[in-house]
Amino acid sequence: MAKRIDVSDLDIYYGKFLAVQGVTVSIEPRSVTALIGPSGCGKSTFLRSINRMHEVLPGARVEGKVVMDGQDLYSADVDPVDVRRQIGMVFQRPNPFPTMSIYDNVAAGLRLNNKQTKKADLDDLVERSLRGANLWNEVKDRLDRPGSSLSGGQQQRLCIARAIAVEPDVLLMDEPCSALDPISTLAIEDLMTELKERFTIVIVTHNMQQAARVSESTGFFNLNGVGQPGRLIEFNPTEKIFSNPDEKATEDYISGRFG
Amino acid sequence: MSVQTPIPTSGASAVTPPQDRVAGRLPRWGQLAAFACGTAIAALLSWLTDSTVVLFVIYAAVLGTLVLYVASRRAEGRRQATDRLVTAIVTSAFGIAMVPLAALVWEVVGRGIERLDAEFFSASLQGIVGEGGGAYHALMGTLIITGLTALISVPVGLMTAIYLVEYAQGRLKRAITFFVDVMTGIPSIVAGLFAYALFVLLFGPGIRLGIMGAVALSVLMIPVVVRSAEEVLKLVPNELREASYALGVPKWRTIVKVVLPTAIAGLGTGVTLAIARVVGETAPLLITVGITNATNFNPFDGRMATLPVYAYYQLTQPGVPPEFAIDRAWTAALILIILVMGLNVVARVISRFFAPKTGR
Amino acid sequence: MTATRTPSDQSTSRPLRRPGDRIFAGTAKAAGISILVVLAGVAAFLVVEAVPAVTAPSGEIPGGEGLVGYIAPLLFGTLLSAAIALVVATPLAVAIALFITHYAPRRVAAGLGYVVDLLAAIPSIVYGFWGVYWLAPKLVPLFRWLEENLGFIPFFAGPTSSTGRTMLTVGLVLAIMILPIISAISREVFLQVPTLHKEAALALGATRWEMIRMAVIPYGKSGIIGGSMLGLGRALGETMAVALVLSVSGGITLNLISSANPGTIAANVALEFPESTGLDVNTLIASGLALFVITLAVNMLARWVVNRRADFSGAN
């Protein structure tokens, strides 16, 4: 299921503004890849361009290639909607659908796409996804309650369950813990280590300890100044980044000299 | 009148004249006492000049304010006195606005209750001279034409709002937004003339049809629907749209299955209020649908009666003897008010009960 | 798991869109454009139907003095009644907006606002009923008093109408009808006054009224102006209340309390249209076109004023 992603020479624009320049990176399957860097350096923008969420904003576009297992995601005959079905996403703030129950939230990916599924199969899928997100035991007795009745950490795990229910190959996480308390954060980090058995995971985080704890590889984004495009400064195994980075800027950032 | 100081440059000392700083304050009961005093003088004045209740209330308010102002001026200084004066003026302004509302409701209920009976809802005016008869045909006509109007306006208005919020950019968006605003200001009689001019070109002069009324009312209703739906759709958090896109849901499905359900309460409220806005419109129906005494349920064939137009003609052309028709006119007006107020209440209920559940 | 590839004949510069998306977006866009078409249609059809009246010899226009001679007194009446309404309603509406936003106890303020909005919900024909039967007779003594004491002013020259169905009565009814419009918009801008401005004024030791005069009114000025102009637009086009209340006979006069008043365009259409045929209809439509142009101009100006404020209100 999990797939590798090869990005080459990717430039990302907001209208005329070049936000991220020249990213070339290979993301390994069945691993967690962390993206770190100061605010505004383009790591979230880069993440959103992997599943073509970037272009949802008016005027936003990219140049370059994102290839997933040999298929160019940006080629002219690829529908962004299909890309997003294969590459799921979890957002910074938990965003369950307020009009839906817990059950319906998990089933949303299928229901919204009008997939005809037998009730028993759907029940099965919901349970499997909720178990996958380590949420089943907490919510199994109140599946018909609104998703927004859960706590913040539970809501975020519900969103993860919703994302994995459509069985994507890749899971993108945009600072998934930044709105959560430490205990919920720990629960999500544990979940990530389980999920990487099945998915390719890319996570953007502001928390360097988190990157060090959960990821196999880490990419460091930085920008030279305000108004300049962000760049991928260094991409290496996490151990190397945190102990002996190639670049001076990475070391400065990691040791807390800026950012 | 005491201070002319611009905010950014002045210091506190420039604003507060020294004599004010030491000024005392009126006790709490001061205000009440002042108005009691004013009321007493007003009562005396009314008794002496043999005035009506209305004049008495006016005297009391004016004199009470005056007494308060003078008392405050002496005890607290000029600035506080001005402040109290303005408070009194502003409060009475609100009171003044309530007078017509109360008087109107009182008058319409008082006169309209007379004929608020079963016959009014079950009989038409066919073959009625003088007593009896009802507005069944007009009520049905209003329901049919308003229903048709909603049938035209809600899809067009809603889709326009969706276009403005979810798709439109740049010049076309600005143009539509601007002209929707402008359209809100079209006089209802002009909307009626438009529908007439349109149908005359198609069917020749002198034409009167129920559907013409619906077209005229739609010109008035569409911009209201667009504006309210636009406001509501903008309130749907972008995060929900993104969550849906990230699940691989196409944009149109996201709008239909995530955005609209989330906004359903607000949309329902907006549409209900828009219906309330057009249900009492008279002028456009007067010139496009006309009036008839018989019951006509077919909006594509000839004149229809509608409640507002019915009320208008019953009042202005009552026949002989006039009192029965005038009673019917007031009852029709009362039903109109009940309809409009009822729709307003329904709108509130919708927004209260259908709002998305946020857990607790 | 490969992406479903749909054949595409679109140019590569535009992102591929599924048929569902294209149809839906197209429908939405068509709805939006239909608004522009309708507005253009209103103008076009009115023009087409007004042309016969414009080209007809002036003797055939009702009144026998040509189209301009027909419309002029109506236009005058329209402007006069709307002007009275505006003069009466604006200060009252601003005061009401201030009361609701800054004076009324916070718990009931929203409810009071709702009550004022109810004034806007009442159908105009009901205002007409009420104006004829309740307000007009009650105003007769006032008119008498005005004639006796202020008769030297042309507005109150008299002789006083015995029914009270005068231009001034109409102006007052219209004022009540536009009150909620002006007060709603004023209320909106008053609520948007940055708390910082208000606190700055209060911190200088200003009383509540001084705070309002220093911070709230200047900030809300363009909102008040824009709201008043929207109210003006409504008053210009108001039909049924005027048609019922105003006793029409005669031409241009400044006398506000007599029984000989000029009509208004809208009310005249409502009164004459049902019984008209032939060229009379075209004449009425021509007058409606004139009303349309005037209200359009007033409303566009009003929106421009209100929107300009929106551009500059980025105080926070």
Q: Do B176 and C127 touch (CB under 8 A)?
A: no
Confidence at residue C188, expressed as pLDDT on a 0 to 100 scale: 87
Closest CA to A113 of B240, C18, B248, B255: B248
Task: Give the residue-averaged pLDDT of C227-232.
Answer: 90
Backbone conformation region of residue B257, classed left if phi is above 0, alpha if psi is from -120 to 50, else beta: alpha
Q: How far apart are alpha carbons A155 and C301 in whole angstroms? A: 49
List Cα–Cα distances, B137 to B250, B302, C171, in angstroms. Answer: 47, 14, 34
What share of chain C in percent tops pLDDT 70? Answer: 92
Q: How far apart are alpha carbons C301 and B17 in whole angstroms? A: 43
pLDDT per residue of chain B (360 residues) written in tens, 0 to 9: 444 444 443 444 444 444 444 456 777 777 778 788 878 888 887 777 766 777 778 878 888 888 888 888 888 788 888 888 898 889 888 988 898 999 999 999 999 998 888 999 998 888 778 788 889 999 999 999 999 999 999 999 999 999 999 998 889 999 999 889 888 889 999 999 999 999 988 888 888 999 999 999 999 999 999 999 999 999 999 999 999 999 999 999 999 999 999 999 999 999 999 999 999 999 999 999 999 988 899 999 889 999 999 999 999 998 888 889 999 999 999 999 999 999 999 998 888 887 655 433
The answer to whether C74 and C287 are in contact (CB under 8 A) is yes
pLDDT above 70 for A254: yes
Taking contacts as CB-CB distances below 8 angstroms, the residues of chain C near A54 are none
Residue with tokens 């909603």, as numbered in its chain: B150
Domain covering B121-353 assigned CATH 1.10.10.1100 in the classification: no
- Domain of residue A68 covers 5-95+171-254
Taking contacts as CB-CB distances below 8 angstroms, the residues of chain A near C6 are 77, 79
Helix (H) or strand (E) holding C103: none
Which range scores top for mean pLDDT: B236-245, C110-119, C157-166?
B236-245
Taking contacts as CB-CB distances below 8 angstroms, the residues of chain C near B191 are 42
pLDDT grade for C157, boundaries at 50, 70 and 90? confident
A103 token code pair = 């059950």
Q: Which domains does chain C have, with CATH numbers?
A: 56-312 (1.10.3720.10)
Name the residue facing B262 among A99, A108, A109 (closest C-beta).
Answer: A99
The answer to whether B182 and C296 are in contact (CB under 8 A) is yes
Helix (H) or strand (E) holding B161: helix B136-162
Q: How far apart are alpha carbons C176 and B100 in whole angstroms? A: 8
pLDDT above 90 for A40: no
CB-count exposure of residue A115 (10 Å: 0-12, 13-18, 19+): exposed
pLDDT grade for C309, boundaries at 50, 70 and 90? low
Give the angle subtended at the CA of B297 by the CAs of B294 and B301, to the nearest 5°. 90
Tell me, yes or no, if B1 comes closer than 8 A to chain A by beta carbon: no
Give the minimum alpha-carbon distance from B177 to chain A in angstroms, rounded to a whole number: 18
Confidence at residue C13, expressed as pLDDT on a 0 to 100 scale: 42
Q: How far apart are alpha carbons C238 and A138 in whole angstroms? A: 62
**Distance from the Cα of residue C76 to its chain's centroid:** 16
Helix (H) or strand (E) holding A178: none
Q: Do A98 and B249 touch (CB under 8 A)?
A: no
Q: How far apart are alpha carbons B268 and B249 in whole angstroms? A: 25
Confidence at residue B4, expressed as pLDDT on a 0 to 100 scale: 45
Omega prior to B321 cis, within 30 of 0: yes
Omega prior to C141 cis, within 30 of 0: no
Residue range C237-248, pLDDT digits in tens:
999 999 999 988
Average pLDDT, whole number, for chain A? 90
b/e sequence B268-304, b meaning 16+ C-beta within 10 Å: bbbbbbbbbbbbbbbbbbbbbbbbbbebbeebeeebb
Tell me, yes or no, if A54 comes closer than 8 A to chain B by beta carbon: no
Q: How far apart are alpha carbons B172 and A180 in whole angstroms? A: 42
The answer to whether C299 and B181 are in contact (CB under 8 A) is yes
List Cα–Cα distances, B271 to C50, C113, C121, in angstroms. Answer: 34, 20, 14
Task: For C166, list phi and psi in degrees, rounded to 5.
Answer: -115, 175
Q: Do C5 and A78 touch (CB under 8 A)?
A: yes
pLDDT grade for C151, boundaries at 50, 70 and 90? confident
Confidence at residue C37, expressed as pLDDT on a 0 to 100 scale: 94
Confidence at residue B58, expressed as pLDDT on a 0 to 100 scale: 80
pLDDT above 60 for C7: no
Higher-confidence residue of C239 and C19: namely: C239
Residue range A145-158, pLDDT digits in tens:
998 889 988 999 99
Q: How far apart are alpha carbons A210 and A218 in whole angstroms? A: 11
Name the residue facing B262 among A82, A83, A98 (closest C-beta).
Answer: A98
Residue range A193-211, pLDDT digits in tens:
988 998 999 999 988 899 9
Taking contacts as CB-CB distances below 8 angstroms, the residues of chain A near C24 are none
Size of interface A-C (CB pairs under 8 A): 31
Q: How far apart are alpha carbons B176 and C44 in whole angstroms? A: 18
Name the residue facing B185 among C41, C212, C233 (closest C-beta).
Answer: C233
Q: How far apart are alpha carbons B230 and A98 in whole angstroms? A: 20
Confidence at residue B321, expressed as pLDDT on a 0 to 100 scale: 86
Q: Do A78 and C12 touch (CB under 8 A)?
A: no
Confidence at residue B10, expressed as pLDDT on a 0 to 100 scale: 40
Residue range C115-125, pLDDT digits in tens:
888 888 899 99
Cite the beta strand spans of A76-198 per DSSP E.
Answer: 87-90, 170-174
Which of A104-113, C61-70, C277-286 bottoms out in mean pLDDT, i.e. has the lowest? C61-70
In chain A, the largest separation of any two C-alpha atoms, in whole Å, equals 56
Task: Give the residue-averaged pLDDT of A101-126.
Answer: 90
Q: How far apart are the first and last CA of chain C?
A: 49
What share of chain A in percent tops pLDDT 90? Answer: 61
Tell me, yes or no, if C83 comes closer than 8 A to chain B by beta carbon: no
The answer to whether B42 and B63 are in contact (CB under 8 A) is yes
State ipTM: 0.91
DSSP labels for A23-80? EEEEE-SSSEEEEE-STTSSHHHHHHHHTT-GGGSTTEEEEEEEEETTEETTSTT--H
Confidence at residue B7, expressed as pLDDT on a 0 to 100 scale: 42
Residue A162 lies in a domain: no
Q: How far apart are alpha carbons C232 and B327 in whole angstroms? A: 33
C234 token code pair = 């409504």
Q: How far apart are alpha carbons C7 and C9 in whole angstroms? A: 7
The number of domains in chain A is 1
Confidence at residue C301, expressed as pLDDT on a 0 to 100 scale: 86
pLDDT grade for C182, boundaries at 50, 70 and 90? very high
List Cα–Cα distances, A113 to A110, B245, C2, in angstroms. Answer: 5, 11, 17
Cite the beta strand spans of B91-141 per DSSP E.
Answer: none
Helix (H) or strand (E) holding B85: helix B78-112
Confidence at residue C114, expressed as pLDDT on a 0 to 100 scale: 86
Residue range C67-78, pLDDT digits in tens:
888 999 999 999
Neighbours of C199 (CB within 10 A): 12
Confidence at residue B2, expressed as pLDDT on a 0 to 100 scale: 43
Does this model's pTM top 0.95? My answer is: no
Indicate which CATH number applies to the domain containing A249. 3.40.50.300
Give the angle subtended at the CA of C207 by the CAs of C202 and C209, to the nearest 5°. 110
Q: How many CA atoms lie within 13 A of B128 on its CB side?
A: 22
Helix (H) or strand (E) holding A11: strand A5-14
List Cα–Cα distances, C36 to B172, B173, B179, B202, in angstroms. Answer: 10, 11, 7, 21
Q: How far apart are alpha carbons A34 and A31 in whole angstroms? A: 10
Taking contacts as CB-CB distances below 8 angstroms, the residues of chain B near C130 are 100, 103-104, 107-108
Confidence at residue C254, expressed as pLDDT on a 0 to 100 scale: 85
Confidence at residue B68, expressed as pLDDT on a 0 to 100 scale: 84
Confidence at residue C32, expressed as pLDDT on a 0 to 100 scale: 94
Confidence at residue A136, expressed as pLDDT on a 0 to 100 scale: 93
Give the minimum alpha-carbon distance from C12 to chain A in angstroms, rounded to a whole number: 5
Give the minimum alpha-carbon distance from A173 to chain C in angstroms, rounded to a whole number: 21
User: What residue spans define the domains of chain B?
Assistant: 15-113, 121-353
Residue A178 lies in a domain: yes
Tell me, yes or no, if B260 comes closer than 8 A to chain A by beta carbon: no
For residue A76, what is the nearest residue in chain C, using CA coordinates? C12
Q: How far apart are alpha carbons C158 and C180 in whole angstroms? A: 31
Interface test with B, best of C1, C42, C100, C244 (most B CBs within 10 A): C42
**Distance from the Cα of residue A25 to its chain's centroid:** 16
Taking contacts as CB-CB distances below 8 angstroms, the residues of chain B near C183 are 97
Name the residue facing C15 among A1, A55, A71 (closest C-beta).
Answer: A55
| Residue B300, SS3 per DSSP | coil
Q: In what order do the strands lie in the sheet with A170-174?
A: A71-72, A60-68, A5-14, A17-27, A230-237, A217-223, A32-36, A200-204, A170-174, A87-90
Tell me, yes or no, if A55 comes closer than 8 A to chain B by beta carbon: no
pLDDT above 50 for C172: yes
For residue B359, what is the nearest residue in chain A, using CA coordinates? A149
Beta pairing, strands A170-174 & A87-90: parallel
Residue type, A46: F
Q: How far apart are alpha carbons B85 and B79 in whole angstroms? A: 10
C239 token code pair = 């039909």
Taking contacts as CB-CB distances below 8 angstroms, the residues of chain A near C10 are 76
Beta pairing, strands A17-27 & A5-14: antiparallel
Taking contacts as CB-CB distances below 8 angstroms, the residues of chain A near B357 are 98-99, 146, 148-149
Taking contacts as CB-CB distances below 8 angstroms, the residues of chain B near C18 are 250
Beta pairing, strands A217-223 & A230-237: antiparallel
Q: How far apart are alpha carbons B105 and B114 in whole angstroms? A: 15
